[in-house]
């Protein structure tokens, strides 16, 4: 990598690595080069010819800068650095020629095109296009293809850059798309127009430089210049992908990815991208109170009064609180604060029943190597997880690393298509025990690896023997040297809930002396030993298990929790509040409010604050800043926004001691249906369609 | 050419016969482990042959599954190459060349015949015998206009002849491929005009004869046009120098082809002569030269002839083949070492 070359670009000398292409060198030098097919994260195709530049001493014709390496350039006769020009008349003429060819068959339907306003071709035509058409023949027309419910095609607009094909093959890992036919008749299509099967397919919409692939749900909804763009964080999985929420008036119109090299690069999953229609439907926009078995709309005061009456009549040990997967740190802290004030010990932020936070402190529940650290791993063991469904963007990173470096990967758990090859060692704890005892071949692979990574999924630990499994996995990681050194901690827990790490950081856990965790709360409620259960956005529970308990549900969507509730307090969704989230690798990030919550719904921590007033235990903060000051006191790492606080490896030692007997039941991923994992997704019609399509396909495959 | 699509009506399945399976397995073995996808084109071709001349959708799936490729990758290839027919074709599938040379020589009329006899492109006649399609250049421009029917070329066509051919194919009569107007391959109509003396032998015999003609044509040929090149190769070899033809002609008069013998049981290893490699040995054997003694006895005229034949520009004399061959003929390696002070190669 230290091989540097000096090149002269438009008369300015610049030093770049020899493996750079001319296009990259030009970008480094600040010279703008137009392009359609080139994309820095995909392989080079060199087929649009828009990036032509003049190379001195090369052949007397323009060169495609994306496909020519700096290392291949010849120096001048006396060893002068090679010269490249990006602004000469030759370059301008060449690009104008390319543009004219591209526009020959491109329809002039910009006024009805969804890409209008953010179209590469439109922008570059302003710079290189001519105002007249010299092409007198008929334009080509191409039949539109069905490639799934998410991506709409208007194939006449396609300029054959093949970015979408390269993306689905290389990053998505599902070879759905292809370029059929040849020459002018070339067409992008899936085989027999089947729907694409990747969880990342929405990204082809962003990649398409023209309006050939556009978002189907967003079709004809808005123009980019009407939208208010808010930079935020995604909560659909525990990665905390960087997103941009585009809103108009009070509605979120679409969600786009933002660049964050450390987390999501520039991809987001389909759930992240197409969730927005779920933000409009099934919303809880005012408080409800159950009277005579029926939920009736109520005012805030009535709802608080109903809660206060019930809680005051109940002893603290018969009250429980469970927080869900989408909660921000603010409301988690406020919930814990309120419960502490009431003297309630039965608090849990782990509605899936995982044992995190009980032993081993922070390193025991973080993705310690970091998401970007996957690129440094030289062997990966996946235990009880299907990363393709639990965190598609992270899975794409594993795939990319596997593709580039061919690292060995093994899986204990479900044998699913993860888009890369792996050794399936076994399905359950015995395999993990065998591996930990060194009885498996893969033990040697991990042992010889310098930076082995053990990925532990929720499927391995969300069970009654979870702590023991976690201990065994930690022991294995320690054995193979994954946790030995200061610079590499290969013990990686992949969470599925955006709220989880912040909850664990803030110790939203059962009180030390006999507090109930989620599992115990459910069984206690079933037995009638718990009278009040406070569900903070917790919907993924067996609601029937709550028995006769009085249920308070605070959340944004009318899902399972709201149906069971006796009092409903309408909260805000993640696009409607400024909330702190900590992702699975321990990176603190903050969402920004893009729109206001609908109707009477409020930001969640303010609801808890108001409720505390009604209960006579007023929480001592009146603004978000005051609340956050308290949070930062409790967990200083949450103050460092966008920073990743690494946990000490020593913390793992305590966890290793928990390694013990495990049940024999197989590990299985907690995400059964990728499209329907949270209340917002379950409210989305688009997600429902995707889910039905996926289930239909599974049935087909089973036949 | 319009977009190539899969046929609307597809068979339910494709099952390879024994030959196809064997061919597929053999094809895959030609490539390194894990690179079996390289065999996709031969496989599709073989599948097309088995499947009555066209590639069906189940056949694409079978190919993809056999080679462990995604369907879309095989689909891309099948739609890219026009040699794969995606629609059913007749028992005799006519590919009619419509590129410029054929068009100038009357392919438009041939199309009319096809339309009349068969119908539109890619229509199959009701008896399932015939179908046709216009294709780009098939590389037989010298015999334009032409068609390819299944694997054979039918050249120098007229509308009448094509119609006859189609009728004969339909009725099951035997049809002779190749030029249809008494031409032999791509020779001029009415027979060859050059290289007439003994066309069966090698260039060696033809050359002096051509050279004999050269002086007469020397002047007009001086700036060698391609047309005359064929007729006077000797003149064309040195077109730039006006003197050359005369000089060559002079040499031609003095040279003489050495006499060859039949291959003896134990030929000498001519490679022992410094300057003769395996390639040259083969060429010399072709002239009937097998023994050192033969080379040793070459006269000046014979040396000049061989030199000219091999375009050596005097290398035989420079390397002194005669002395080397003499020594080797006389006393083998020992004699060679004695004469030259080193071992022969």
Q: Return the pLDDT at A482.
A: 82
Of the partner residues B6, B57, B72, the one whose CB lies closest to the CB of residue A177? B72
Would an 8 Å CB–CB cutoff place B163 in contact with chain A?
no
The pLDDT of residue B214 is above 50: no
The pLDDT of residue B243 is above 60: no
C-alpha distance from A265 to closest chain B C-alpha (Å): 27
Please give the residue of chain A at the shortest CA–CA distance from B70: A175
Interface of A with B (CB under 8 A): 142-143, 175-183, 185, 187, 189-192
Q: Return the pLDDT at B248.
A: 47
The pLDDT of residue B216 is above 60: no
Domain check: are B241 and B313 in the same one? Answer: yes
Look at B72 and A182 and tell me if their CB atoms are within 8 Å: no
Which residue is it, tokens 């290189």? A128
Domain check: are B105 and B125 in the same one? Answer: yes
Domain check: are B259 and B327 in the same one? Answer: yes
Measured between alpha carbons, how far is A607 from A447 in angstroms, rounded to an integer?
51
Ramachandran angles phi, psi of B338, nearest 5°: -65, -45
Would an 8 Å CB–CB cutoff place B261 in contact with chain A?
no
Domain check: are B224 and B292 in the same one? Answer: yes
C-alpha distance from A182 to closest chain B C-alpha (Å): 5
**pTM, rounded to two decimals:** 0.82
Domain check: are B209 and B281 in the same one? Answer: yes
Looking at chain B, which runs of residues are DSSP E strands? 92-97, 130-135, 147-149, 152-155, 178-179
Of A226 and B321, which is predicted with more confidence?
A: A226
Whether A549 contacts A338, CB under 8 Å: no
Tokens representing A364?
């025991």
Confidence of residue B211 (pLDDT cuts 50, 70, 90): very low
Domain check: are B123 and B71 in the same one? Answer: no
Measured between alpha carbons, how far is A493 from A370 in angstroms, rounded to an integer?
10
Domain check: are B214 and B319 in the same one? Answer: yes
Would an 8 Å CB–CB cutoff place B34 in contact with chain A?
no
Report if residue B241 sits inside a domain. Answer: yes
With H, G, I as helix, E, B as strand and everything else as coil, classify residue A442.
helix
Which among B125, B145, B179 is the end of a domain? B179
Domain check: are B135 and B244 in the same one? Answer: no
The pLDDT of residue A212 is above 60: yes
Q: Return the pLDDT at A502.
A: 95
Of A6 and B258, which is predicted with more confidence?
A: A6
Of the partner residues B1, B2, B72, the one whose CB lies closest to the CB of residue A191? B72
Ramachandran angles phi, psi of A609, nearest 5°: -65, -45
CATH classification at residue B112: 3.40.30.10
Q: B70 contacts in A (CB within 8 Å)?
A: 175-176, 191
Which among B58, B80, B102 is the end of a domain? B80
Would an 8 Å CB–CB cutoff place B57 in contact with chain A?
yes
Tokens representing B114?
């096809």
pLDDT digits (tens, 9 = 90+) for B91-112: 999 999 999 999 999 999 999 9
Would an 8 Å CB–CB cutoff place B80 in contact with chain A?
yes
Please give the residue of chain B at the shortest CA–CA distance from A177: B72
Domain check: are B295 and B211 in the same one? Answer: yes
Confidence of residue B250 (pLDDT cuts 50, 70, 90): very low
Whether B215 contacts B245, CB under 8 Å: yes
The pLDDT of residue B215 is above 60: no
Domain check: are B215 and B303 in the same one? Answer: yes
Report if residue B186 sits inside a domain. Answer: no
Q: Return the pLDDT at A365.
A: 93
Whether B306 contacts B319, CB under 8 Å: no
Of B234 and A547, which is predicted with more confidence?
A: A547
Look at A175 and B70 and tell me if their CB atoms are within 8 Å: yes
How many structural domains comprise chain B?
3
Report if residue B190 sits inside a domain. Answer: no
Report if residue B187 sits inside a domain. Answer: no
C-alpha distance from A366 to closest chain B C-alpha (Å): 37
C-alpha distance from A169 to closest chain B C-alpha (Å): 10
Domain check: are B52 and B160 in the same one? Answer: no
The pLDDT of residue B263 is above 90: no
Of the partner residues B1, B3, B76, the one whose CB lies closest to the CB of residue A178? B76
Average pLDDT over residues A278-285: 95
CATH classification at residue B46: 1.10.10
- Tell me, what's the ipTM? 0.90
Measured between alpha carbons, how far is A30 from A34 in angstroms, rounded to an integer?
12
Average pLDDT over residues A45-54: 94
Of B229 and A316, which is predicted with more confidence?
A: A316
Q: Return the pLDDT at B325.
A: 85
Cα angle B41, B46, B49; round to 5: 130
Q: Return the pLDDT at A247.
A: 96
Q: Return the pLDDT at B345.
A: 66
The pLDDT of residue A408 is above 90: yes
Average pLDDT over residues A28-53: 94
Maximum CA extent, chain B: 85
The secondary element (H helix, E strand) that includes residue A431 is helix A429-436
Tokens representing A159?
């300029």
Please give the residue of chain A at the shortest CA–CA distance from B7: A192
Of B325 and A285, which is predicted with more confidence?
A: A285
**Could you tell me what percent of chain A has a pLDDT over 70?**
99
Confidence of residue B273 (pLDDT cuts 50, 70, 90): confident
Instruction: Give, rounded to a whole angstrom, the gap between the first and last alpha carbons of chain B.
Output: 61
Report if residue B303 sits inside a domain. Answer: yes
DSSP 8-state symbol, A169: I
Look at A182 and B3 and tell me if their CB atoms are within 8 Å: no
Report if residue B4 sits inside a domain. Answer: no
Would an 8 Å CB–CB cutoff place B31 in contact with chain A?
no
Q: Return the pLDDT at B344.
A: 77
Which among B53, B80, B107 is the end of a domain? B80
Confidence of residue A225 (pLDDT cuts 50, 70, 90): very high
Confidence of residue A657 (pLDDT cuts 50, 70, 90): confident
Average pLDDT over residues B296-317: 82
Domain check: are B112 and B50 in the same one? Answer: no
Q: Please report which residue ranges of A237-314 form alpha helices under DSSP H.
A: 270-274, 300-312
CB atoms within 10 A of CB A439: 10
Ramachandran angles phi, psi of A425, nearest 5°: -80, -30
CA-closest candidate to residue A175, choices A194, A205, A193, A196: A196
Confidence of residue A360 (pLDDT cuts 50, 70, 90): low
Tokens representing A481?
């040297």
Cα angle A678, A682, A686; round to 5: 120
Please give the residue of chain B at the shortest CA–CA distance from A175: B70
Report if residue B242 sits inside a domain. Answer: yes
Report if residue B6 sits inside a domain. Answer: no
The pLDDT of residue A34 is above 50: yes
Average pLDDT over residues A507-527: 91
Domain span at residue B136? 92-179
pLDDT digits (tens, 9 = 90+) for A93-112: 999 999 999 999 999 999 99
Measured between alpha carbons, how far is A263 from A392 in angstroms, rounded to an integer?
12
Please tell me the total number of residues recorded for chain A in this structure: 703
Measured between alpha carbons, how far is B315 from B320 in angstroms, rounded to an integer?
8
């Amino acid at each position: 990598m230290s091989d540097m070359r000096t090149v002269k670009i438009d008369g300015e000398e610049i030093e770049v690595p020899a493996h750079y292409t001319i296009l990259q060198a030009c970008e480094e030098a600040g010279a703008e080069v137009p392009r359609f097919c080139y994309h820095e994260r995909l392989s080079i195709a060199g087929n649009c010819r828009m990036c032509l530049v003049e190379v001195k001493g090369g052949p007397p014709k323009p060169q495609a800068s994306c496909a020519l390496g700096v290392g291949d350039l010849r120096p001048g006769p006396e060893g002068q650095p090679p010269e490249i020009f990006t602004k000469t008349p030759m370059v301008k003429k060449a690009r104008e020629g390319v543009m004219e060819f591209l526009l020959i068959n491109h329809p002039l339907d910009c006024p009805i095109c969804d890409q209008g306003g953010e179209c590469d071709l439109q922008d570059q035509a302003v710079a290189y296009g001519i105002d007249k058409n010299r092409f007198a023949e008929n334009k080509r027309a191409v039949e539109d293809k069905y490639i799934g419910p998410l991506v709409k095609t208007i194939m006449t607009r396609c300029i054959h850059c093949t970015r979408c094909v390269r993306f689905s093959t290389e990053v998505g890992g599902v070879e759905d798309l292809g370029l059929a036919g040849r020459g002018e008749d070339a067409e992008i299509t899936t085989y027999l127009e089947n729907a694409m099967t990747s969880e990342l397919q929405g990204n082809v919409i962003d990649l398409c430089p023209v309006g050939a692939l556009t978002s189907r749900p967003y079709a004809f909804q808005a123009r980019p210049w009407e939208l208010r763009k808010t930079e935020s964080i995604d909560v659909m999985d525990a990665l905390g992908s960087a997103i941009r929420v585009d809103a108009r008036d009070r509605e979120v119109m679409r969600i786009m990815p933002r660049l964050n090299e450390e987390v999501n690069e520039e991809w987001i999953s389909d759930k992240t991208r197409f969730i927005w229609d779920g933000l409009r439907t099934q919303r809880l926009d005012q408080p409800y109170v159950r009277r005579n078995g029926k939920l009736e709309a109520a005012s805030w005061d009535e709802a608080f009064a109903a809660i206060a009456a019930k809680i005051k009549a109940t002893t603290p040990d018969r009250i429980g609180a469970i927080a869900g997967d989408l909660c921000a740190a603010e409301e988690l802290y406020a919930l814990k604060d309120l419960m502490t004030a009431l003297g309630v010990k039965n608090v849990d932020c782990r509605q899936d029943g995982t044992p995190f936070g009980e032993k081993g402190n922070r390193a025991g529940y973080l993705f310690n190597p970091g998401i970007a650290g996957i690129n440094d791993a030289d062997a990966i063991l996946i235990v009880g997880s299907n990363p393709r469904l639990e965190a598609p963007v992270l899975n794409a990173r594993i795939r990319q690393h596997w593709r580039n470096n061919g690292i060995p990967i093994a899986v204990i758990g479900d044998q699913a298509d993860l888009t890369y090859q792996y050794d399936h060692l076994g399905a359950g704890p015995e395999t993990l025990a065998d591996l930990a005892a060194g009885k498996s071949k893969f033990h040697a692979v991990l042992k010889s690896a310098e930076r082995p990574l053990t990925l532990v999924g929720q499927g391995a630990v969300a069970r009654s023997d979870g702590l023991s499994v976690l201990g065994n996995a930690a022991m294995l990681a320690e054995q193979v040297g994954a946790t030995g050194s200061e610079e590499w901690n290969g013990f990686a827990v992949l969470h599925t809930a955006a709220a989880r790490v912040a909850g664990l950081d803030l110790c939203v856990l059962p009180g030390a002396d006999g507090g109930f965790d989620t599992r115990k709360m459910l069984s206690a409620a079933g037995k009638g030993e718990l009278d009040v259960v406070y569900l903070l956005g917790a919907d993924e529970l067996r609601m029937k298990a709550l028995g006769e308990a009085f249920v308070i549900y605070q959340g944004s969507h009318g899902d399972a929790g709201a149906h069971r509730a006796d009092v409903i307090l309408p909260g805000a969704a993640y696009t409607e509040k400024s909330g702190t989230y900590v992702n699975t690798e321990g990176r603190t990030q903050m969402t920004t409010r893009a729109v206001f919550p609908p109707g009477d719904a409020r930001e969640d921590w303010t609801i808890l604050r108001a409720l505390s007033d009604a209960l006579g235990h007023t929480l001592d903060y009146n603004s978000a800043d005051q609340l956050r000051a308290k949070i930062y006191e409790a967990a200083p790492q949450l103050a460092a926004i966008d920073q990743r606080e690494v946990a000490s490896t020593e913390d793992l030692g305590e966890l290793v001691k928990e390694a013990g007997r495990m049940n024999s039941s197989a590990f299985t991923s907690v995400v059964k249906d990728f499209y329907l994992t949270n209340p917002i997704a379950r409210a989305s019609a688009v997600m429902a369609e995707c889910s039905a399509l996926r289930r239909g396909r599974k049935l087909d495959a089973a036949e | 050419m319009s977009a190539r699509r899969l046929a609307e009506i597809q068979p339910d399945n494709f099952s390879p016969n024994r030959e196809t399976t064997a061919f597929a397995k053999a094809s895959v073995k030609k490539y390194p482990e894990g690179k079996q996808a390289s065999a996709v084109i031969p496989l599709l071709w073989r599948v097309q042959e088995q499947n009555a001349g066209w590639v069906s959708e189940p056949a694409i799936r079978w190919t993809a599954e056999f080679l462990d490729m995604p369907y879309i990758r095989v689909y891309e290839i099948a739609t890219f190459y026009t040699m794969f027919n995606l629609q059913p074709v007749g028992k005799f599938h006519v590919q009619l060349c419509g590129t410029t040379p054929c068009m100038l020589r009357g392919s438009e009329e041939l199309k009319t015949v096809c339309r009349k006899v068969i119908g539109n492109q890619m229509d199959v006649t009701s008896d399932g015998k015939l179908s046709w399609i216009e294709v780009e250049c098939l590389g037989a421009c010298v015999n334009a206009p032409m068609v390819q029917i299944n694997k054979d070329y039918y050249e120098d066509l007229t509308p009448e002849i094509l119609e006859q051919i189609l009728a004969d194919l339909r009725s099951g009569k035997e049809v002779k491929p190749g030029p249809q107007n008494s031409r032999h391959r791509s020779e001029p109509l009415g027979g060859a005009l050059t290289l007439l003396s003994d066309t069966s032998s090698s260039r060696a015999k033809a050359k002096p004869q051509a050279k004999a003609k050269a002086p007469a044509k020397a002047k007009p040929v001086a700036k060698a046009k391609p047309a005359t090149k064929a007729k006077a190769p000797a003149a064309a070899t040195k077109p730039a120098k006006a003197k050359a033809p005369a000089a060559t002609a002079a040499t031609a008069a003095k040279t003489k082809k050495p006499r060859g013998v039949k291959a003896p049981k134990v030929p000498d290893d001519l490679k022992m002569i410094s300057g003769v490699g395996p390639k040259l040995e083969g060429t010399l054997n072709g002239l009937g030269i097998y023994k050192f003694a033969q080379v040793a006895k070459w006269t000046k005229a014979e040396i000049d002839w061989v030199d000219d034949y091999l375009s050596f520009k005097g290398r035989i004399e420079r390397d002194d083949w005669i002395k080397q061959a003499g020594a080797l003929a006389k006393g083998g390696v020992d004699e060679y070492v004695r004469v030259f002070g080193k071992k022969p190669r």
